């Protein structure tokens, strides 16, 4: 008998809200977190993209200065989200040897790494801080969360670019099902709004260049979409073995019914145009969760707003759900908060859990002329989801051909 895994705590810090209640209200309203960057480095390096979606609440408004000093910005966001999720779970007593962490990032401590390189060049090796290595390592966020919670059943860092956050949930589910842990703090964190990643993503033509209108730049499924908008932040979810949650009378948001990870093995960055890897991931997550196409009422799509990315996801959804795809309410929440890279899967999972729990699908903004090749039922004003037993899916795909899907079932 497979152990059932439920979600009992949620946390987030994002461009449309520094905590879950604020983010959720904004997600239902439909706001944009994208703004023009006022930093001097935009002009200094003549960046082709002048905007991004920064976290609405700066980390230093939440963490103490001394605490923040030892953390890369990505870890700061991760710790903030994890603390919120932990408090939300209401767990007060736990066997710390049975508590694990699966906290992902796409890039890791890129600010720390590049700041240290600048320091080395400008001031010499003596001035490179002794905390540089633990701050730049990609497992820094999982390690910091593990330290913060006293989680001793392992601290893991799945890294699969923009699928990382979703892969963390896949790993977390496995850890509980296989009996290695009873509770797992899962999540993803990213802080890469730095001139180098902006230049690099621009150079591969991945970012929108709608510099004169940042709030309307992220427009998944729209004919005029021209790339994604860089976001930052973190999402966190407390996964718990159902019997553990029931024993303490926990509030249960939903069941993490199934997850999957597949690889395209097609191209290092381009998605398989037939969406075959994504299709296999959708089917595998549904099989894992014993889910029929008709059970699915909502999808939080990966939908980054790139010309080449949005369509294969539709192809995959059609292949996995058949004609039932027409009945599914699809939300592309990157339209509001941009693309949080390795954190996006975790934040979107939080939104998907809330959609199932609250029976409301969040809004997709900026959809003015829907691409006729993507005839999905896109949620453009907050919509009520049906009563009864329902399932929602959240997709994430990453450079490298990574596909990850999670399925949330109502309880």
CA distance 12 to 169: 15
190 DSSP β-pair partners? 233
CA distance 139 to 181: 19
Measured from the CB atom, the residue of 64 and 323 that comes closer to another protein is 64
- Helix, strand, coil share (%) of the chain residues, nearest 5: 40, 20, 40
Residues lying near another protein in the complex (CB under 8 A)? 64-66, 69, 126-127, 129-131
Give the nearest distance from C-beta 308 to another protein in angstroms: 45
The two beta strands, 329-331 and 296-300, are parallel
Closest CA to 305 of 86, 3, 53, 82: 53
Measured from the CB atom, the residue of 69 and 251 that comes closer to another protein is 69
Catalytic residue among 102, 162, 234, 241: 162
Tokens of 104: 């992902």
Give the nearest distance from C-beta 133 to another protein in angstroms: 10
Tokens of 327: 């009945």
Give the nearest distance from C-beta 66 to another protein in angstroms: 4
Listed in sequence order, the residues at least 6 apart from 149 whose beta carbon sits closer than 8 Å to its beta carbon are 82, 86, 96, 99, 101, 185
Give the nearest distance from C-beta 55 to another protein in angstroms: 23
Task: Kindly report the number of other CB atoms within 10 A of residue 21's CB atom.
Answer: 14
Measured from the CB atom, the residue of 63 and 257 that comes closer to another protein is 63
* 162 catalytic per annotation: yes
Residue written as token pair 């497992």: 139
Measured from the CB atom, the residue of 69 and 96 that comes closer to another protein is 69
**Which residues are marked as active site?**
162
């Amino acid at each position: 008998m497979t152990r059932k895994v439920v979600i009992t705590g949620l946390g987030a810090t994002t461009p449309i809200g520094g905590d879950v209640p604020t983010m959720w209200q904004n997600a239902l309203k439909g706001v944009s977190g994208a703004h023009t960057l006022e930093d001097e480095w935009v002009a200094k390096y003549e960046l082709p993209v002048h905007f991004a979606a920064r976290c609405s609440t700066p980390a230093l408004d939440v963490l103490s200065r001394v605490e923040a000093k030892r953390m890369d910005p990505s870890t700061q966001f991760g710790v903030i989200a994890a603390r919120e999720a932990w408090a939300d779970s209401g767990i007060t007593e736990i066997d710390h040897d049975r508590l694990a962490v699966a906290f992902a990032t796409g890039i890791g401590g890129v600010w720390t790494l590049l700041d240290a390189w600048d320091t080395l060049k400008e001031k010499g090796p003596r001035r490179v801080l002794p905390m540089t290595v633990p701050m730049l390592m990609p497992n820094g966020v999982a390690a910091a969360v593990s330290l913060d919670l006293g989680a001793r059943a392992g601290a893991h860092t799945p890294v699969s670019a923009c699928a990382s956050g979703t892969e963390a949930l896949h790993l977390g589910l496995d850890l509980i099902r296989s009996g290695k842990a009873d509770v797992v703090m899962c999540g993803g964190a990213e802080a890469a709004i730095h001139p180098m990643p902006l230049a690099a993503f621009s150079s591969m033509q991945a970012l929108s260049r709608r510099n004169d209108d940042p709030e309307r730049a992220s427009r998944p499924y729209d004919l005029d979409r021209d790339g994604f908008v860089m976001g930052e932040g973190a999402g966190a979810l407390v996964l718990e073995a159902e019997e553990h949650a029931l024993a303490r009378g926990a509030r249960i948001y939903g069941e993490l019914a199934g997850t999957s990870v597949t690889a395209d093995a097609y191209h290092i960055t381009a998605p398989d145009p037939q969406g075959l890897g994504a299709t296999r991931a959708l089917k595998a997550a549904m099989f894992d969760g014993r889910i029929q196409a008709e059970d699915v009422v909502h999808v939080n799509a990966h939908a980054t707003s790139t010309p080449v990315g949005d369509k294969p996801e539709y192809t995959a959804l059609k292949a996995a759900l058949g004609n039932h795809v027409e009945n599914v309410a699809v939300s592309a929440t990157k339209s509001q908060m941009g693309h949080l890279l390795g954190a996006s899967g975790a934040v979107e999972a939080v939104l998907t859990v809330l959609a199932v729990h609250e029976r409301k699908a969040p809004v997709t903004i900026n959809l003015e002329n829907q691409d006729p090749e993507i005839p999905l039922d896109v949620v453009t004003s907050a919509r009520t989801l049906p009563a009864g037993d329902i399932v929602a899916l959240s997709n994430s795909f990453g450079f490298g051909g990574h596909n990850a899907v999670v399925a949330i079932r109502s309880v």
